[in-house]
Chain A
Amino acid sequence: MTQNLKQQSLTSVDELETIVDADAHAQASWDDIISHLDDGHERFERFFERSPAPGSEMNLYHSPTPTYLYEDMKERDDGSTGLYEDAGLEDTAAVTARIGVDKGVVNPTLILNLNFVRERDYAVAIMQGYNDWLVSELDEYDNMVGNLIVAAQDPHRSAEEIDRLADEDDIAGVQLLGTALVPPAGHPSYDPIYEAAEANGLPISMHTSGAGMKPFPEQSFWAETYAEDHVTQHPFAHIANATSVLLNGVPERYPDLRFVFQEAGIGYVPYLIGRLDTAYHEFPSEVPALSAPPSEYVSDTFYWCTQPLGHTAETPRHLAWLVELVGPENLLFAADAPHPDFDTPEELFDRVRAYFSADEVAAMMGENAVEVYDIE
């Protein structure tokens, strides 16, 4: 393939000023969450004390086979070493430093499945406890900011939560979890969340989870392995939510609101946008909420995290092609530290550096995230 030799290319990640992991994680334990609960959540606390297995009783998450993520990669006592001990923020910071990432935007781990919680009050309790835990943890790290989580089960109290914490220095955005979000994200019931996020100048991040998506019964009943489930879980949730947000006109109602899609890679994006624009042109009377093709809103306000980039056996340049089709200005490098399908910065950098200008590469490796999340 032809490269533009006139452009100034970077040769090493060391030349980058800032590498940001737009999708870092920190796991709060149930104890962490409960110890940060305010008054008013006694029912949740009592449930937690009495239930023999509160996590699984409340949480409908189910994977067909164990997730290797939290089992194989832990520290163990057979001479091998894992990636982390409890996947808390300390582990995240260590992995971040080890792979050469400068800053991170922190998202939950256990609480990625908040949408699976049935009781609205419990979801609200978890939201408040987790968020206060997160704020106190982030205090310890100069290079970490985080997304506060909202409970889609209660958009009004979620909006109050955004107002309560938006001024915290370390809160950079709002996490509206994507998997098992019913109704999908374009439904008007979520307007209070979008209104509060926009008013506080916070982007909406949508993170998905790896398995057990009940709203897709075919998958949750019939996938035979975690791998089989996981291949399609992440992109399906984003595709359904992004379609819903766009075709139901959320960007028309909240034009300054930005969306960040995390953990599904980027290769599905050109396909999705192509089909959205096709639908817009072929069924115009079915899409009254938009005044321009979906691709225009996407290029203005949607951002896509790169991890996991995916593996190509022979043709790594294809990843660069997909980056071009999505557009470097809408990409955020994500490592997913410390989870073991993480990407090192080189995983993206090595595949794009020869094909994009230094500015474009610097943008996707960190500067776009600094701008979107207003990171200092």
Chain B
Amino acid sequence: MTERYAIADVDEFDGDGSRVISEVEGQEIAVFRHEGEYYALANFCIHQAGPLCEGALSGSISTDEDGWDWVYDDEERYIVCPWHGWMFDIETGRSPKDERYAVPTYDAVVENGTVYAVR
């Protein structure tokens, strides 16, 4: 059965990079606005149960083709847990460091000016 949770009105978001965290039926869900789109995930870190979505958004550092130089991709699509620094992609919920680690995500749907988290 599909569940749908109203998280926030669109005008509660302060542009890209902003977020709203709501408690719905006992669970906290965060919605991020990123490049005009909305992404919803649980405000819960699978590492030590920290409030993942209260952390900072970050881009990511990778290595160049030679495997030596560091390259920074400044697209801030990773949420960094404020407790221990674990990172997750806000779209897929997966850790960029190891795909086995993932937090629950929801489809974010906008209807009549309201953002819903659906799963």
Choose among A73, A81, A344, A347 the residue with the greatest number of B CB atoms under 10 Å from its CB.
Answer: A73
**Pairwise interchain contact A72-B48, C-beta atoms closer than 8 A:** no
**Pairwise interchain contact B83-A342, C-beta atoms closer than 8 A:** yes
A83 to B81, CA, bound (A): 10
**Pairwise interchain contact B49-A346, C-beta atoms closer than 8 A:** yes
Residues of chain A lying within 8 A (CB to CB) of residue B80: 72
A82 to B85, CA, bound (A): 11
A341 to B47, CA, bound (A): 11
Residues of chain A lying within 8 A (CB to CB) of residue B19: 79
The contact of B82 among A83, A313, A343, A346, by CB within 8 Å, is: A83
User: How many of chain B's residues touch chain A, expressed as a range?
Assistant: 10 to 19
**Pairwise interchain contact B54-A72, C-beta atoms closer than 8 A:** no
**Pairwise interchain contact B54-A340, C-beta atoms closer than 8 A:** no
A340 to B80, CA, bound (A): 12
User: How many of chain A's residues touch chain B, expressed as a range?
Assistant: 10 to 19
From known contacts A83-B83, A341-B84, infer whether A313 and B56 are also in contact, taking CB-CB under 8 Å.
no
From known contacts A78-B17, A80-B55, A80-B56, infer whether A73 and B49 are also in contact, taking CB-CB under 8 Å.
no
A342 to B45, CA, bound (A): 14
**Pairwise interchain contact A80-B82, C-beta atoms closer than 8 A:** yes
**Pairwise interchain contact A81-B82, C-beta atoms closer than 8 A:** yes
Residues of chain A lying within 8 A (CB to CB) of residue B84: 340-342
Does any Cβ of A come within 8 Å of B18's Cβ?
Answer: yes
Residues of chain A lying within 8 A (CB to CB) of residue B54: 80-81
**Pairwise interchain contact A346-B48, C-beta atoms closer than 8 A:** yes
**Pairwise interchain contact A68-B82, C-beta atoms closer than 8 A:** no
Does any Cβ of B come within 8 Å of A76's Cβ?
Answer: yes
* Chain A residue at minimal CB-CB distance from B79: A80
* Chain A residue at minimal CB-CB distance from B58: A72
Name the distance in Å between B58's Cβ and chain A's nearest Cβ.
9
A78 to B16, CA, bound (A): 11
**Pairwise interchain contact A313-B100, C-beta atoms closer than 8 A:** yes
Would you give the 0/1 interface string for A323-361, flagging 1 where the beta carbon is closer than 8 Å to chain B? 000000000000000001111101100000000000000
**Pairwise interchain contact B48-A82, C-beta atoms closer than 8 A:** no
A81 to B55, CA, bound (A): 6
Would you give the 0/1 interface string for A64-100, flagging 1 where the beta carbon is closer than 8 Å to chain B? 0000100011001011111100000000000000000
* Chain A residue at minimal CB-CB distance from B19: A79
Per the 8 Å Cβ criterion, residues 5-62 of B in contact with A are 14, 17-19, 48-49, 51, 54-57
A81 to B82, CA, bound (A): 7
Name the distance in Å between A223's Cβ and chain B's nearest Cβ.
16
A313 to B46, CA, bound (A): 12
From known contacts A78-B17, A340-B83, A342-B83, infer whether A72 and B56 are also in contact, taking CB-CB under 8 Å.
yes
**Pairwise interchain contact A76-B56, C-beta atoms closer than 8 A:** yes
Residues of chain B lying within 8 A (CB to CB) of residue A68: 85
The contact of A72 among B14, B17, B85, by CB within 8 Å, is: B85
Residues of chain A lying within 8 A (CB to CB) of residue B57: 78, 80
A73 to B55, CA, bound (A): 8
Name the distance in Å between B25's Cβ and chain A's nearest Cβ.
23
Known contacts A313-B98, A313-B100, A340-B84; 4 additional CB pairs below 8 A are A76-B56, A80-B54, A344-B49, A347-B48
A-B contacts, 12 listed (Cβ < 8 Å): A72-B80, A72-B85, A80-B54, A80-B82, A81-B82, A83-B82, A313-B98, A340-B82, A340-B84, A341-B84, A344-B49, A347-B48
Point out residues on A near B: beta carbons under 8 Å: 68, 72-73, 76, 78-83, 313, 340-344, 346-347
